[in-house]
């Protein structure tokens, strides 16, 4: 298993190295084949490793060490991997969904400049995420953590000739650095307390080293939350993700479905024991998830850009995962990550087909009537929207989302505010999802289709659509068929008991399932009414208050304006005021002194022999005079 696990991680890095070094000198088809094959090999190796793990089921997981990384001041981490149920699920999703996105991108990006560079970055992205989720210690995890941050910058700004894309990439990099700094401080603190950054060692000794509910446990957990909030685009560090839509559509699919934004969810789940010792931090995670549900849901309702709608929906679905983590429902959070990866990748890739077919148009109000022209995109987008909306019984999103709602209700850490917000968000999600579907694919066709998807693009869509329906059947609730092999398997990775208790009423679970289903269906019909009759648009046009609310939601609740006012402008003003500070003057003075010396010595180099001869005579005379004077004295 050791060799196979290392192939999983190393194969994408090898592909990235080849593409970034020699990719510009090989044909595009060869570059695409290398990019796809490297991730495909990683996926096949992941399948082999998973099969072997399921056969043996080691109780404490499996560890493999490549070599000792360093030994400095008592810090001696290794380049090592830890393989258990949690990392197995993450690994399979990253490699499989990543491979599907690579296949799609090999055709959708074929006409773009920098084709090999694109796949080099994509391979590097997948490799960094695999390093993150399989790392045995927090330092190696942090290396992968920063790797995905770097790759997100490179890929969001892939079309760097457009200044707006560069600004979006910078924004993503800078905002996530805020959370990364908090996580780095947490790592320093953990090393100071435990003398190691080995994850399993920290989790095993945490109950004896940390006081439950104590200041140290709470502050460390809060710093970890800071890192998770930044990477997973949760309030208040969510502003970078909608702007990240500046990158190519396959990049958006990869960031939202299998990498980057799910890193924060994984981090909190991996450090479950630490969070169990910090109830206040867990409550904060649940609050962040709940607030994010409303923020992103209402923002998505009024967006015009098809990719921004999906971006806000990702923020919302990660909010569901945070809510589950906050009430201790670790398996429910990872189950929703599992299903979300399929239907969110599907939605982005279907949207990419639409954008390409509409001359790179993103405005959903300038589209329409594409159901017949793009049948595969229509049916796959419908499948993804249905799963995102948690339509009952036949979608994967129904089972994972209702597992979270049930956990928020039955957990001792849950409150009516939590599960009530999750229920209301089901209606909002269905409304904005089907609003896009109706406006883009139904009604009158406004623009002719300029490009049809290729075979590999359609293949990726169909495969992802299949799993968007069927992936939920391995986690059915107790009130339906009592078939939950996914949850039972995943629970082996967690030391803590699931927060959702069995003493809760069976009738209550059925009631929540029914309420969630009804609200989802109501959201679908609300979107249909909006697209057909335009009642809500009329209200916004006639009411000043409605216009203000619409503008508020459209701007992402004014977070960008607020941060610009509180942080960006003061920082720029301070930098301008301090542009000539004394430290700069000191180094500027040194440079001026060196320049003066250069001028003096340069003036002496005239190139005239008689000047040099006169200088030699003068020097000889001065030297003779000095010698005579010394003799007389």
Write down the pLDDT at residue 541: 64
Q: Is residue 256 part of a domain?
A: no
Write down the pLDDT at residue 222: 97
Write down the pLDDT at residue 315: 97
Write down the pLDDT at residue 407: 93
One domain, residues 595 and 520: no
Domain count, the chain: 2
453 token code pair: 């998807």
Write down the pLDDT at residue 578: 81
Q: Which residues contact 44 (CB under 8 A, 6 or more apart)?
A: none
Domain end call among 533, 565, 599: 533
Checking if the pLDDT of 605 tops 80, the result is no
39-43, 437-441, 492-496, 522-526: least confident range: 492-496
501 in Cβ contact with 411 (< 8 Å): yes
Burial (CB < 10 A; 0-12, 13-18, 19+), residue 195, is middle
One domain, residues 343 and 472: yes
Q: Is residue 3 part of a domain?
A: no
Q: Is residue 461 part of a domain?
A: yes
- Summarised one tens digit per residue, pLDDT across range 539-588 is 666 778 888 898 999 999 999 999 999 999 999 998 888 877 777 778 88
| CA pair distance 243, 554, nearest whole angstrom | 13
Domain end call among 533, 566, 589: 533
Write down the pLDDT at residue 446: 87
Q: Is residue 131 part of a domain?
A: no
- Higher pLDDT: 617 or 581? It is 617
- CA of residue 30 relative to chain centroid, distance: 29
What DSSP letter does each residue of 194-227 carry, written as one string?
HS--BHHHHHHHHHHHS-TT-HHHHHHHHHHHHH
Write down the pLDDT at residue 280: 96
115 in Cβ contact with 360 (< 8 Å): no
How many alpha carbons fall within 13 Å on the CB side of residue 469?
11
One domain, residues 525 and 410: yes
Q: Which residues contact 68 (CB under 8 A, 6 or more apart)?
A: 76, 78, 79
One domain, residues 408 and 470: yes
One domain, residues 506 and 587: no
Write down the pLDDT at residue 499: 47
Over residues 162-188, the mean pLDDT reads: 95
Q: Is residue 430 part of a domain?
A: yes
Q: Would you give the DSSP letter of residue 497? A: P
One domain, residues 480 and 425: yes
- Buried b vs exposed e over 33-55: b needs ≥16 C-beta within 10 Å? ebbbebbbbbbbbbbbbbeebee
Checking if the pLDDT of 353 tops 90, the result is yes
For residue 62, which phi and psi values (nearest 5 degrees)?
Answer: -130, 135
Write down the pLDDT at residue 538: 60
One domain, residues 523 and 589: no
Which residue in this structure is represented by tokens 């931090």? 281
One domain, residues 526 and 588: no
Alpha carbon of 210 to those of 37, 204, 221, 568: distances in Å? 46, 11, 12, 38
Note down the domain range covering 472.
316-533
- Summarised one tens digit per residue, pLDDT across range 133-158 is 999 999 999 999 999 999 999 999 99
347 in Cβ contact with 377 (< 8 Å): no
One domain, residues 378 and 501: yes
Write down the pLDDT at residue 533: 58
110 in Cβ contact with 32 (< 8 Å): yes
User: In the structure, what pLDDT confidence band is assigned to residue 501 with cuts at 50, 70 and 90?
Assistant: very low
Q: How much is the CA Rg of the chain, to the nearest whole Å?
A: 29
Query: Positive or negative CA dihedral for 463, 359, 300, 233?
Result: positive
| CA pair distance 456, 462, nearest whole angstrom | 10
Over residues 316-321, the mean pLDDT reads: 97
Q: Is residue 452 part of a domain?
A: yes
Domain end call among 533, 549, 567: 533
Q: Is residue 91 part of a domain?
A: no
One domain, residues 603 and 507: no
- Summarised one tens digit per residue, pLDDT across range 240-270 is 999 999 999 999 999 998 888 999 999 999 9
Write down the pLDDT at residue 583: 76
One domain, residues 329 and 426: yes
One domain, residues 492 and 589: no
Query: Positive or negative CA dihedral for 340, 346, 349, 353?
Result: negative
Work out the number of other CB atoms within 10 angstroms of the CB of residue 1: 18
326 in Cβ contact with 289 (< 8 Å): yes
Q: Is residue 483 part of a domain?
A: yes
- Higher pLDDT: 394 or 496? It is 394
- Summarised one tens digit per residue, pLDDT across range 441-450 is 998 888 899 8
Write down the pLDDT at residue 611: 77
231 in Cβ contact with 263 (< 8 Å): yes
Measured N-to-C along each axis, helices 455-470 and 396-410 cross at an angle, to the nearest 10 degrees, of 40
Over residues 291-308, the mean pLDDT reads: 96
Write down the pLDDT at residue 478: 80
Which residue spans within 20-179 are E strands per DSSP? 62-68, 78-83
312 token code pair: 């806000």
| CA pair distance 126, 551, nearest whole angstrom | 37
32 in Cβ contact with 106 (< 8 Å): yes
Write down the pLDDT at residue 504: 57
19-28, 228-237, 624-633: least confident range: 624-633
Write down the pLDDT at residue 19: 97
């Amino acid at each position: 298993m050791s060799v196979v696990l290392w192939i999983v991680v190393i194969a994408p890095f090898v592909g990235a190295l080849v593409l970034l070094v020699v990719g510009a000198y090989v044909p595009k088809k060869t570059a695409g084949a290398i990019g796809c094959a490297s991730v495909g090999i990683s996926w096949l190796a992941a399948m082999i490793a998973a099969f072997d793990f399921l056969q043996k089921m080691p109780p404490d997981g499996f560890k493999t060490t490549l070599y000792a990384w360093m030994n400095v001041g008592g810090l001696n981490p290794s380049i090592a991997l830890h393989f258990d149920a949690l990392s197995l699920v993450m690994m399979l999703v990253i490699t499989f969904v990543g491979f599907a996105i690579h296949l799609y991108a090999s055709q959708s990006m074929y006409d773009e400049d920098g084709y090999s560079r694109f796949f080099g970055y994509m391979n590097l992205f997948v490799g960094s995420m695999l390093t993150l989720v399989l790392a045995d210690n927090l330092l190696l995890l942090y290396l992968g953590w920063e790797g995905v941050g770097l790759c997100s910058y490179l890929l969001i700004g892939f079309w760097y000739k457009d200044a707006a894309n560069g600004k979006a990439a910078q924004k993503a990099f800078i905002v996530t650095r805020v959370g990364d700094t908090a996580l780095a401080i947490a790592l320093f603190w953990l090393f100071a307390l435990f003398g190691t950054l080995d994850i399993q060692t920290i989790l095993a000794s945490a109950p004896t080293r940390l006081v439950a509910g104590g200041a140290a446990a709470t502050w460390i957990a809060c710093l970890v939350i800071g890192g998770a909030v930044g990477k997973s685009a949760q309030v208040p560090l969510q502003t970078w993700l909608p702007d990240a839509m500046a990158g190519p559509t396959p990049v958006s699919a990869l960031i939202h479905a299998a990498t980057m934004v799910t890193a924060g969810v994984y981090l909190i789940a991996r450090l479950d024991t630490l969070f169990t010792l910090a109830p206040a931090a867990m409550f904060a995670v649940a609050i962040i998830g709940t607030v994010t549900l409303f923020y992103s849901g209402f923002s998505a309702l009024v967006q015009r850009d098809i990719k921004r709608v999906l971006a806000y929906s990702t923020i919302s679905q990660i909010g569901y995962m945070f809510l589950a983590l906050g009430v201790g429902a670790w398996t429910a959070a990872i189950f929703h990550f599992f299903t979300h990866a399929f239907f969110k990748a599907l939605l982005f890739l279907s949207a990419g087909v639409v954008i390409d077919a509409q001359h790179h148009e993103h405005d959903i109000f300038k589209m329409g009537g594409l159901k017949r022209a793009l049948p595969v995109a229509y049916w796959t987008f419908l499948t993804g929207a249905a799963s995102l909306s948690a339509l009952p019984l036949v979608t994967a999103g129904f089972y994972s989302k209702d597992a979270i709602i049930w956990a928020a209700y039955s957990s001792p850490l849950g409150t009516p505010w939590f599960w009530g917000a999750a229920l209301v968000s089901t209606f909002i999600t269905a409304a904005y999802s089907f609003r896009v579907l109706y406006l883009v694919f139904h009604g009158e066709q406004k623009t002719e289709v300029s490009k049809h998807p290729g075979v590999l693009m359609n293949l990726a869509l169909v495969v992802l659509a299949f799993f968007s329906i069927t992936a939920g059947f391995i986690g059915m609730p107790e009130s339906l068929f009592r078939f939950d092999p996914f949850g039972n398997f995943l629970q082996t990775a967690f030391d803590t008991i699931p927060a959702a208790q069995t003493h809760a009423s069976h009738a209550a679970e059925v009631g929540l399932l029914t309420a969630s289903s009804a609200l989802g269906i109501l959201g679908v019909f609300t979107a249909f009414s909006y697209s057909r009759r335009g009642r809500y648009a009329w209200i916004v046009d006639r009411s000043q208050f409605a216009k203000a609310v619409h503008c508020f939601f459209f701007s992402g609740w004014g977070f960008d304006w607020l941060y610009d006012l509180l942080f960006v402008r003061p920082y720029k003003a301070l930098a301008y005021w301090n542009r000539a500070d004394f430290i700069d003057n000191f180094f500027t003075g040194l440079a001026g002194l060196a320049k003066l010396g250069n001028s003096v010595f340069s003036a002496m180099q005239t190139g005239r022999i008689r000047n040099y001869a006169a200088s030699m005579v003068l020097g000889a005379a001065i030297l003779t005079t000095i010698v005579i004077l010394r003799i007389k004295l």
